[in-house]
Amino acid sequence: MDLKSYIVELNAKIESTLDKLLPPKTQYPGMLYDSMRYSLFAGGKRLRPVLTLATVEALGGNLEAALPVAATLEMIHTYSLIHDDLPCMDDDDLRRGQPTNHKVYGEATALLAGDALLTHAFQVLGTVQTGITSDIMLRIVGELAKAAGAVGMVAGQMADMENEGKQANAETLAFIHANKTGALLTASVRIGALFAGASEEQLQALTTYAQRIGLAFQIQDDILDVVGETAKLGKAVGADAAHAKSTYPVLYGLEESRDMVRRLTDEAHQALQASDLAAVRLHEIADWLVSRDN
């Protein structure tokens, strides 16, 4: 099976799991559950749960049993998108071509749907029976909360906001990327590793893998922004760069950024090879993330 079919197959499992884990639309107050489901089932690559499940598989763990745990990563990611789109944040009307949550349900409901999705992730982890020990599940709770919270994703979001319209330096840019997107991507892999009983050495290797692809993914995003803009606006990259918000191409130039993506992806592959894992899908995902053109 090629990677694309593999991801399609996993996504079907992930969506059916999410459907079972959420309160039904018919339960009172239904609009809250409608609103949670609207954003949760709005499509997307489901990269985070896919990473969790591919990691479980690489370690010979039980993929089916891991589904509810993997689904919590998508709940957290979706809550962050709903809150990011709110008028007081990025004020976006559209996401993937569809009206954002607050455009459909109103700001108050969107705020509550985000709060509820965030909380629901921990309700699932605290109550689901998956066959792993409470020691490990509790460690997963800590991993997820740390990656999502005050010293993870929310810190990255805050730093990004504080640096809007400013020319952030390399250190600040690295902090934003490592936290705003990197922390949850890394947690996706680490949680799969913990679930499947990885050794500390394997966990370290997988953490390196995840950190490298997380940053490569983000730099690739930055590159696509620049390349896309150049094509669209028909003007030189350098001219944009002077006014654009801080990105890797702005700070390091386009060629050096492309080199960084290549180096990071190589390091991700090396980390997997050194740890002696049957991690074909993880290798494929690393290549896919940086070869995509959207």
Residues at the contact surface with a second copy, assessed by CB under 8 A: 22-23, 27-29, 31-33, 36, 83, 86-89, 106-109, 111-112, 114-120, 122-123, 125-127, 133-135, 137-146, 148-151, 154-155, 157-159, 161-162, 175
Nearer to a second copy, 90 or 225 (CB): 90
Nearer to a second copy, 122 or 252 (CB): 122
Nearer to a second copy, 14 or 32 (CB): 32
DSSP per-residue string spanning 257-269 = HHHHHHHHHHHHH
Q: How far is the CB of 210 from a second copy (least distance, A)?
A: 19
Q: How far is the CB of 275 from a second copy (least distance, A)?
A: 25
Q: How far is the CB of 248 from a second copy (least distance, A)?
A: 20
Contact 113, 39 (CB under 8 A): yes
Q: Whole-angstrom Cα distance, residue 26 to residue 126?
A: 24
Closest by CA to 271, choosing from 55, 42, 73, 41, is 55
Q: Whole-angstrom Cα distance, residue 110 to residue 100?
A: 9
Nearer to a second copy, 16 or 133 (CB): 133
Nearer to a second copy, 111 or 250 (CB): 111
Residue 75 corresponds to which amino acid?
Answer: M
Residue 211 corresponds to which amino acid?
Answer: Q
DSSP E strand boundaries for the chain: 94-95, 98-99
